[in-house]
């Protein structure tokens, strides 16, 4: 039996900023080389023992591994060390999709601090609830995770 479902396709973009009391170099190191140290437990989709890793090169992956299970979060599109990271990801029906996501993280020196600007664009089957959940989730991860970790050293 074949069933068909037609969904509305939308494009939604949101952006927010997080100020971190650390240099851009420190924030960049935290974002790329030490991602697993600040990735919050609630964001481990494969279980509490999973490992989240970023390969900071074009075509690299932001992925999660737990034993034989794996989850590709994003693929690196562009990278400018200490400045910006652009990523593309896909969500299947099992992860509230189908939709794609283009996430960009930009760093800007602000005296002795760094302003991190996160922008995300979602394309596909996207509901207002998904946008609110995604936005609040990224804010939590970058504030309670990255900011807290980068400022702790």
pTM passes above 0.85: yes
Q: Tokens standing for 151?
A: 């400022």
N- to C-terminal Cα separation, the chain: 58
Q: Which residues contact 98 (CB under 8 A, 6 or more apart)?
A: 90, 91, 92, 124, 125
Q: Which domains does the chain have, with CATH numbers?
A: 10-152 (3.30.530.20)
pLDDT of residue 2: 87
Residue 150 near residue 20 (C-beta atoms within 8 A) = yes
Token couple for 13: 């973009």
Closest CA to 137 of 84, 85, 101, 88: 101
pLDDT lower than 70: segments of the chain: none
Give the pLDDT confidence score for residue 15 in this predicted structure: 97
């Amino acid at each position: 039996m074949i069933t068909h479902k037609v969904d509305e396709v939308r494009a939604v973009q949101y952006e927010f900023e997080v100020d971190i009391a650390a240099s851009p170099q420190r924030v960049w190191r935290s974002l790329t080389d030490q991602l697993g140290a600040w990735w919050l437990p609630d964001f481990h989709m494969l279980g509490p023992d999973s490992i989240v890793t970023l390969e900071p090169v074009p075509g690299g992956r932001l992925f999660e591994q737990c034993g034989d299970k794996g989850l590709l979060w994003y693929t690196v599109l562009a990278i400018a060390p200490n400045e910006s990271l652009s990523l593309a990801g896909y969500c299947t029906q099992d992860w509230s999709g189908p939709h794609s996501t283009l996430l960009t993280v930009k760093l800007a020196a602000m005296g002795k601090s760094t302003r991190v600007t996160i922008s995300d664009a979602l394309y596909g089957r996207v509901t207002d609830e998904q946008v609110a959940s995604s936005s609040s989730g990224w804010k939590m991860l970058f504030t309670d995770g990255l900011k807290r970790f980068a400022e702790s050293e």
